Structure 1
Amino acid sequence: MDDLPRPPSTPSTPSTHTHRTPPDSDLVPRSPLTDTLVSSFDLAAVHRSHSKPVACLDFSSDGSLLASSSPDGVVAVYAALQGKHKATIPVHKYGAGVLRFVHGASTPAVVAASTSRDDKLRLLDIESERYVRYFTGHEATVTSVSASPAGPGFISASQDAWIRVWDVRQDVARGKVKASGCPVVAYDPKGLIFSIAYNAPNWKTLVKLYDARQYEEGPFLEFQLDNPSNSVPSCLKYSSDGEYFLLVNADANANVDVFDAYKGKSYRRFSGHRNVSGIPLEASFSPDSAYVATGSDDGSLFAWNLESERLVLEKKQVHALPTACTLWNPYYQMMSTSCQNVVFWLTSPQDSSSEY
C-alpha cells in the first residue's frame, strides 16, 4: 500500500495568529450555552495552513482534534484544545475532498475522499501520516461522508448516485443504497439511523430514513420537502439530541432549514446570510442542540437560537473569502470556520479573573 510522502525533516511552521490559547482545564465538556455566551464568540486563533480554499473541516468525536482538507493537496491537523497546528500531511497524489474522523481505529484517523486519479476513499492514519486502507466501489467523486457514532462504520454518497455502507476494517462496502442525482448523507447521534437527501421530481427534495442495521429492507420513513429552486442539497446534519435535522441547499436563497426528525415537518428557517453564487455552505448544530450556525459567501458568520429564532451572533466579513465551512466542536464551547484560513472561535471571558 502506498505510503504518503514524508514531510521535510525541518518543515516550515504554517503562519498562525493566536489571540488567546485556552488551558485545557478552562474548556468544560458539554457545558450549556446561552445567548450571552454565543454572542461573545470571538476569534481565538487563525491558521494559514492552506494555499487554496478549505474543502472540509471535521472535529474528532472527543473534540480534541480538528482536520482540514483543501485542493492544495494537504490535510492539516490541529490540536483544538490548544488552538495549535499539529501536522501538515501531504496528499498530493490522490488529493482530499470530504473527510471525516472515524471510530474504531487504534489511533486517530480520517476517511478522505479522493479528488484525483480515482474515486476511492482512503483511511489516513494521523500519527503515522500514512494511508492504512483503501475503500473501492464508487464510480464518481464522493461528495458526502458521515461516520457512525456507534462504531467503526461510515457511509458515503457519490455523484454516481449510490450510497455505500462501510466498515473501516474492510476495504469492500458492506452494502449500498440507490439514490438519485448527488445525495448527501448523515447518521443520527446514536448511529441507529442514517438519512439521505437528494433532488426529486416536481421541485421536491426527498429525505429517506433507514435503520442502519436493516437498510437492505429500504427506508422506514420518507419526507418530501419543498424545493422551489430545485437546488442540490449540500449539507444534512442531525442535532445531538436527535430531535431535529438541518438541510442546506446550494442555493442563492441562502436558507438553513430545520425539520422535526420524526415527522419531517418544517420547524425553523434561518436566513439573512448571503449566498449569491449558490455555493455549498455548511451549517451546524451546537453540541447542546440549542443553536445553529452557518457561514456566508461574504465571509461572515451567523448563529441563531433554535427555540427563539433569535440571531445571537453576527460576525461580518471575518473571512476574506466565503465562509464555506462552519462547525461547532461536538464537546466544547468552540467553533471553527474556514475560507482559505482555518479559524478557531471561543467565547469571551465573562469576568476579569477568567483565563478562558
Structure 2
Amino acid sequence: MPPSLTSSRPHRERESIKLSETIHRFRPSKSFSNISPGAEITSLDFDDRGELCIASADDETLQLYDCISGRHQKTLFSKKYGCHLAKFTHSSSNIIYASTKGDDTIRYLSLHDNSYIRYFKGHRRLVNSLEVSPVDDQFISCSADDTVRLWDLKSSNCHGLLNLPSPSLAAFDPSGIIFAVASQASSSIMLYDLRNYDKAPFTTFTITDDAFLSAYSYPPRMPQWSKLEFSNDGKLMLLGTRGHSHYVIDSFAENTSKFLYRVLRPRGFTLPEKEGKETSGSVCFTPDGRYIVGGQGERGVAIWDTNKQPDEKKSLLPSWDLVENVRTQASVVAFNHKTNLLATAYKEAVFWLPEQHAPDPPQSPQR
C-alpha cells in the first residue's frame, strides 16, 4: 500500500473551487504582450496566495503579473544564464528557475530586488522538470543528465540523488510525502516515499498505448511526455504529452501495466515547439480535481470532465472547446489554485475568467 496521503496539510493548499457551473463560461479577459517579438513563453506558475503569476520566456526574461489587478507588474532579465521553469517558493517574493545557457545551475532569486539568494549546482545538462514541495522548502529537479535531485532551499547541496533514464518529469503528491518520476525512455512512472527515496520505488506504472497509437504513427510511438501532475486528492495522476492524447492514471491501481483512460485532442494535433525547447505543460487539473484543462494551439482550450465515463476504447473526449476570441495559441496552461483564473500562454500570456452571461460554447462532438 502507498504511504499515507493525509498525514500533513499542504501549505500550498489546493482549495475546492466549485467550477461545475462556470468552467464552460471561461473567456479571455486580459492578454499581455511583454516579451520580445517572436519569443515564446515556456512556463507559468502561481504563488501560494494566488495573487501573482510568474512566466519565463525564451527571450531570457521573467514576467511577473498581478492576478488581483490584472496587470503586468515587472520584467526581470536573465540574459547571462537564460531562464526556464520558474517556480514560486512558499514566499511570494522568491522564485527558483532553471538556467538554459552558461551552465545548468538552478537559481534562487528574490523578485523584490532582483538578487540571487542561492545557487543549486550539480546537474550537467538542461533541467527539464522543477517542482516545489507543497508542504516545505524541499524541491525536486530532473535533468537530461539522467539524474533526479532532491534539494532544500536552505542548502546549496542536494540531499538526494537518483540515476534514472532521461528525460524525466517529477511531481509531488498533495501531502508532500510521495513524489513521482516519469521516464519516457523506460515507459514508466515510479512512485517514491520521500522518507525512503534511496530505496526502490514502491509502485511502478508501465505506460504503453501501442494499439491506439498505431492508428496515428508507424511504428506506434508515444508522443513526447511534457507534464506530470497529481489531482488535488492524490488519487489520479495526469501525464501530459505534446501529441493528441494525454493519460490519466489511478495512483492506487493494482494493475500497474495499464492507464485508466486517455483524454484526446483533435486527430493529428501537435503543439508548436522549437527544437529542444520544453514547456511547463499544456494540460493541468483544475483545483477541484474534476476537470482537465488543455491548450489546443490555434483551437483554443479544451475542457475534459473526469466525472464522465470514457468510451469502450478508454478515450475521453472534451466536454467543451473554449475558442471564442482566442487570438493566440495556448501551448502552456496553469490554473490558479485560489481563484477562478486560468492562464494560458504562447507568444503572449492570457488570463481567462468566467463570464456570468456568456453563451454556452458548443459541446465537443463525440467522435
Determine the C-alpha separation between the residues in 2 that align with 1:241 and 1:311: 22
> In the alignment, which residue of structure 2 is the partner of 1:272?
265
Output aligned runs, 1:331-342, within 5 Å: 331-342=338-349
Amino acid corresponding to residue 210 of structure 1 in structure 2: Y
Determine the C-alpha separation between the residues in 1 that align with 2:71 and 2:356: 20
Moved more, 217-226 or 308-317: 308-317
> In the alignment, which residue of structure 1 is the partner of 2:17?
31
Alpha carbons of structure 1 residues 313 and 109: separation in structure 2 relative to 1, 3 Å: farther
Q: 2:249 aligns with which of 255, 259, 263?
A: 259
> How far apart are 1:278 and its partner, in Å?
7.3
| Secondary structure of the structure 1 residue equivalent to 2:64 | strand
Q: 2:197 aligns with which of 215, 225, 232?
A: 215
Q: 2:43 aligns with which of 48, 52, 56?
A: 56
| Secondary structure of the structure 1 residue equivalent to 2:22 | helix
Determine the C-alpha separation between the residues in 1 that align with 2:115 and 2:352: 30
Alpha carbons of structure 1 residues 268 and 318: separation in structure 2 relative to 1, 3 Å: farther
Determine the C-alpha separation between the residues in 2 that align with 1:258 and 1:75: 31
TM-score (norm 1): 0.83
Q: Does 1:161 find its partner at 2:159?
A: no
Alpha carbons of structure 1 residues 258 and 40: separation in structure 2 relative to 1, 3 Å: same
Q: Does 1:141 find its partner at 2:164?
A: no
> In the alignment, which residue of structure 1 is the partner of 2:213?
none
Determine the C-alpha separation between the residues in 2 that align with 1:157 and 1:186: 10
Amino acid corresponding to residue 17 of structure 2 in structure 1: S
> In the alignment, which residue of structure 2 is the partner of 1:18?
none
Large movers: runs of 4+ above 6 Å: none
Whether the aligned pair in 2 keeps the contact of 1:102 and 1:153 (CA below 8 Å) is no
Deviations 1:64-86 (A, max 9, x none): 11000011111011111221111
Moved more, 309-318 or 47-56: 309-318
> In the alignment, which residue of structure 2 is the partner of 1:70?
57
> In the alignment, which residue of structure 1 is the partner of 2:297?
297
> How far apart are 1:128 and its partner, in Å?
1.6
Deviations 1:16-39 (A, max 9, x none): xxxxxxxxxxxxx643111x4111
TM-score (norm 2): 0.81
Alpha carbons of structure 1 residues 277 and 56: separation in structure 2 relative to 1, 3 Å: closer
> In the alignment, which residue of structure 2 is the partner of 1:119?
104
Whether the aligned pair in 2 keeps the contact of 1:133 and 1:171 (CA below 8 Å) is yes
> In the alignment, which residue of structure 2 is the partner of 1:247?
239
Whether the aligned pair in 1 keeps the contact of 2:226 and 2:242 (CA below 8 Å) is yes
| Secondary structure of the structure 2 residue equivalent to 1:39 | helix
The one of the two structures with greater contact order (alpha-carbon pairs below 8 A, sep at least 6) is 2
Moved more, 237-246 or 226-235: 226-235
Determine the C-alpha separation between the residues in 2 that align with 1:184 and 1:310: 25
> In the alignment, which residue of structure 2 is the partner of 1:91?
78
Moved more, 90-99 or 257-266: 257-266
| Secondary structure of the structure 2 residue equivalent to 1:213 | helix
Alpha carbons of structure 1 residues 145 and 319: separation in structure 2 relative to 1, 3 Å: farther
Moved more, 269-278 or 156-165: 269-278
Question: Alpha carbon RMSD of aligned pairs, Å?
Answer: 2.0
Alpha carbons of structure 1 residues 312 and 38: separation in structure 2 relative to 1, 3 Å: farther
Determine the C-alpha separation between the residues in 2 that align with 1:319 and 1:339: 12
Output aligned runs, 1:194-209, within 5 Å: 194-201=179-186, 205-209=187-191
Deviations 1:135-185 (A, max 9, x none): 000000001011100100100000101000000111110111111021011
Q: Does 1:235 find its partner at 2:262?
A: no
> In the alignment, which residue of structure 1 is the partner of 2:114?
129
Taking only the aligned residue pairs, the percentage that are identical comes to 27
> How far apart are 1:317 and its partner, in Å?
8.0
Deviations 1:199-248 (A, max 9, x none): 245xxx11000011210112111111105314432110111111101002
Amino acid corresponding to residue 266 of structure 1 in structure 2: F
Determine the C-alpha separation between the residues in 1 that align with 2:239 and 2:322: 22
> How far apart are 1:268 and its partner, in Å?
3.0
| Secondary structure of the structure 1 residue equivalent to 2:302 | strand
| Secondary structure of the structure 1 residue equivalent to 2:74 | strand
Amino acid corresponding to residue 43 of structure 1 in structure 2: P
